[in-house]
Amino acid sequence: MIGARLKQARLLAGITQRELARALCDIGYKITAAAISKYEKEKSYPTAQFMLLASSALGVPGSYFLHQPETDVQWTAFRKQSRFGKKKQEAVMAYASDLAELQIELHSVLYPDASPDLPEPAPAMDFNDAEEIARQLRAVWNVGNRPLDNLVQTAEDRGVIVIGWDDESGRFDGLSGWCGEYPVTVINANSSADRKRFNLAHEIGHLVMDTTRASVDDESLAHRFAAALLVPDEHAYHELGRQRRHLDWGELMMLKRKYGLSMAAWVRRARDLKIISEHCYEALSIERSKFGWRMREPVEYLGDEEPLQLKQMVQRAVAEGLVSPDRMTRIGVDVWQPETEQPESEHLTVYDLLAMPEDERKAVMERAFEHASKEDFEIFEAYEIYDDYYEEFDAETEEISN
């Protein structure tokens, strides 16, 4: 158990056994990479001092190594560029496994009668099957044919675990797998909102399609599924018409803002549905390159595609006393708590102050004045209504006296 958690923490930190050994040697603890390898394979067991120093070097609390994972994620699809190295791949999977485990644990406690609402993988032989499976998923999720305002939260509401991994290199797109009955997806949190939507839809496609006997490669089918989930064919025909000789970029800008599908993906969608010809598709692709829109398009989709389910469940579990805030720090989940620290004098009466030695009383008062100097106070003499009130009261008093 300790060995597996040590390896997971190291992968999460993105360092090798040799680099961990060097980091520990730098703080005075002599150890070799071979010794760490034995710890991870549980051929020998680390000392308490090693665990304490390793937890500091790896940025996890000491209790991390003693936690026994109850679930294991079986990853099925990893979409990345070839330059996204093995160490980074392992770090993504370690991080996602930790968060998936916590999310499943909280879900079972807070929603004991709920289960993920994702259909069993259906056979997908070709693009028509991908379109149909996307249509069926919309029906299961009861979202009709309307544009999906927030795909991340739509998926989270149906029990899909969505995890964000911040990769600035642009070489990681998505990861998906199963943790028991729970579908797990990972998307690049550093992408634009429309890219997050497409990548999540793509990973969901891998989870709901059985492509073992497909005549088309997995990635192409998942791309087609993603486009069909975000823009069903009848919507595309409604917005663009059944057949076009050309598409206007201004038109595509508006459709991107409405559906959260990139302009480039709209052009591809139009070609796949034979709304435009292959020649028109190629011409538009050349124009897009000429305008410099391959890396960034001229308009942004303004939707919010941030995973919130885990954060919400953590806050609820802490509020109900089911878990402690400290425990959540083992994988870096922030817990919002109101500031409770107050100046000492606020809890003291004048009698408490008088009973104090003079030096202590003076120190308390100085702290109170320092705190008060940071606050904003209203100047009540500006309220003329009170002046009028007291003038009337004084006049009435003088009249009675006379």
Task: Write down the pLDDT at residue 379.
Answer: 47
What domains can you pick out in the chain, each with its CATH number? 2-66 (1.10.260.40), 74-230 (1.10.10.2910), 344-401 (no CATH)
pLDDT digits 0-9 by tens, 11-42 = 767 788 999 999 999 988 999 999 999 988 88
| CA–CA distance, 134 with 353 (Å, rounded to integer) | 71
Six-digit token pair at 294?
Answer: 């391959």
Under 8 Å between Cβ of 236 and 270: yes
Task: Write down the pLDDT at residue 385.
Answer: 44
Of 263, 95, 267, the residue nearest 164 (C-alpha): 95
Give the pLDDT band of residue 2 (cuts 50, 70, 90). confident
pLDDT > 70? residue 52:
yes
| CA–CA distance, 163 with 178 (Å, rounded to integer) | 13
Task: Write down the pLDDT at residue 225.
Answer: 98
SS3 (DSSP) at 109: helix
Under 8 Å between Cβ of 350 and 368: no
Q: What percentage of the chain reaches a pLDDT higher than 70?
A: 80
Task: Write down the pLDDT at residue 188.
Answer: 93
pLDDT > 90? residue 336:
no
Task: Write down the pLDDT at residue 144.
Answer: 85
The mean predicted confidence, pLDDT, of the chain is 84
pLDDT digits 0-9 by tens, 167-181 = 888 889 999 999 999
Task: Write down the pLDDT at residue 263.
Answer: 97
| CA–CA distance, 298 with 295 (Å, rounded to integer) | 10
| CA–CA distance, 347 with 263 (Å, rounded to integer) | 61
Amino acid at 203: E
Q: What are phi and psi for residue 119, nearest 5 degrees?
A: -60, 155
Radius of gyration of the chain (CA): 30
| CA–CA distance, 48 with 44 (Å, rounded to integer) | 13
Helical ranges in 141-296 per DSSP H: 151-157, 193-208, 218-230, 233-240, 249-259, 263-272, 278-290
Six-digit token pair at 122?
Answer: 């259906």
Give the pLDDT band of residue 204 (cuts 50, 70, 90). very high
More confident position, 15 or 140:
140
| CA–CA distance, 283 with 139 (Å, rounded to integer) | 36
SS3 (DSSP) at 112: coil
Q: Scan for tokens 């370690």, then name that residue.
A: 94
More confident position, 206 or 371:
206
* pTM of the predicted structure, to 2 decimals: 0.72
What is the number of other CB atoms lying within 10 angstroms of the CB of residue 19? 15
pLDDT > 50? residue 381:
no
Give the pLDDT band of residue 238 (cuts 50, 70, 90). very high
> Of the ranges 50-54, 117-121, 226-230, which one carries the lowest mean pLDDT score?
50-54
Collect all residues with Cβ–Cβ distance below 8 Å to 318 and sequence separation of at least 6.
324, 325, 328, 335, 337
What is the number of other CB atoms lying within 10 angstroms of the CB of residue 271? 18
Under 8 Å between Cβ of 78 and 175: yes
> Of the ranges 115-119, 136-140, 227-231, 386-390, which one carries the lowest mean pLDDT score?
386-390
pLDDT > 70? residue 306:
yes
> Of the ranges 167-181, 225-239, 310-324, 343-357, which one carries the lowest mean pLDDT score?
343-357
Six-digit token pair at 161?
Answer: 């675990």
**Which DSSP symbol is given to 121?**
P
Which of 50-54, 204-208, 321-325 has the highest average model confidence (pLDDT)? 204-208
Task: Write down the pLDDT at residue 390.
Answer: 46
Under 8 Å between Cβ of 254 and 298: no
pLDDT > 90? residue 271:
yes
More confident position, 114 or 198:
198
Q: Scan for tokens 């249509």, then name that residue.
A: 135
Give the residue-averaged pLDDT of 383-394.
Answer: 47
DSSP states of 44-94 as a string?
Answer: S---HHHHHHHHHHHTS-GGGGG-------EEEEEEE-TTS-HHHHHHHHH
Give the residue-averaged pLDDT of 50-76.
Answer: 77
